[in-house]
Amino acid sequence: MYELIQAAERTYYIQCPAKMGVWKLNDADAVLIDSGNDKDAGRKVQKIFDARGWRLACILNTHANADHNGGNALLQQRLGAPVFAPGIDAAITSHPILEPAFLYGGFPCKALRNKFLLAQPSDCHPLTPENLPDGLEMLPLPGHFFDMCGFRTADDVWFLADCLSGANIVEKYHVNFIYDVAAYLETLDKVCTLEGRLFIPAHAEPAEDIRPLAQLNRAKVLEICDLILGFCQVPLSPDEVLQKVFGHYQLAMDFNQYVLVGSTVRSYLSYLLDRGSLTVDFSDCKALFRRS
């Protein structure tokens, strides 16, 4: 774990639970793409850079989930590296309490203020094409999170963040976190058109052809849409839909899963409501969703 692997001449990735990318600007300087889930991940990154004699030029966060920016604070404190993230995700990276607050829909209780959902704050600036390091191209990949993006290096290697989950994750957990279902499906379509020598998702193995995995992820999203529509043959509240989803896939509920899957189920309800596949009525002080 935390092994540095060379993917191309100047492109590397760090094998870890949420893969990080490394782009060599020159012999001495390198860019880190994402920083892992906590200060321990940050320490391991620093050890890798020190062993190679590399200077950390900056950190680029693909998005503001804690398992992608949790190492920022330590690396910034120790190495003074500037941090950049796209759009809204820059604000969340600077003010990470926004992640568990958004997921829960209110002030997050102590059980939700954990390193999996709440990174340490880091001073983060908005990432734009103008301040993107040389040799990198930024590609918007919305859907999983607000303004998530990926990067292509000049070696023609793509870092695809969380727009895809590995087959083992899809088959085990089924309901992977999605903020905007419509945007996520559009992103999967976009990914299928990309050309490159290697594609590196954060939570799947690198692949020369990413289309089969994108199609697998799309099929699971459509399966969940059909599942929810089937449940909503009778009027159900969001929590009742959530209960049925957990039961159908035999998922174990804890507080983290409650907010992650719960937020995702509400996103599916929004998607189906906006498409006209569901209607919502307010009865007996409850929001009840029903198939149109």
Q: Do 169 and 176 touch, CB atoms closer than 8 A?
A: yes
Supply angle C-alpha 56, 191, 199, rounded to 5: 45
How much is the pLDDT for 1? Answer: 83
H helices within 56-165, ranges in order?
A: 66-69, 72-79, 88-94, 98-104
The segments of the chain whose pLDDT lies below 50 read none
User: CATH 1.10.10.10 spans which residues of the chain?
Assistant: 223-291
How much is the pLDDT for 240? Answer: 98
The dihedral built from the CA positions of residue 243, 247, 248 and 252, taken in this order, carries a sign that is: positive
How much is the pLDDT for 162? Answer: 98
Give the CATH class of 3-162. alpha beta
How much is the pLDDT for 174? Answer: 98
How much is the pLDDT for 255? Answer: 97
The identity of residue 37, as a single letter, is: N
Reported as a single tens digit per residue, the pLDDT across 55-83 is 999 999 999 999 999 999 999 999 999 99
User: CATH 3.60.15.10 spans which residues of the chain?
Assistant: 3-162
Cα maximum dimension of the chain = 67
Share of the chain above pLDDT 90, in %: 99
Does domain 223-291 sit in CATH 3.40.50.620? Answer: no
d(CA 175, CA 245): 9
Q: Do 164 and 211 touch, CB atoms closer than 8 A?
A: no
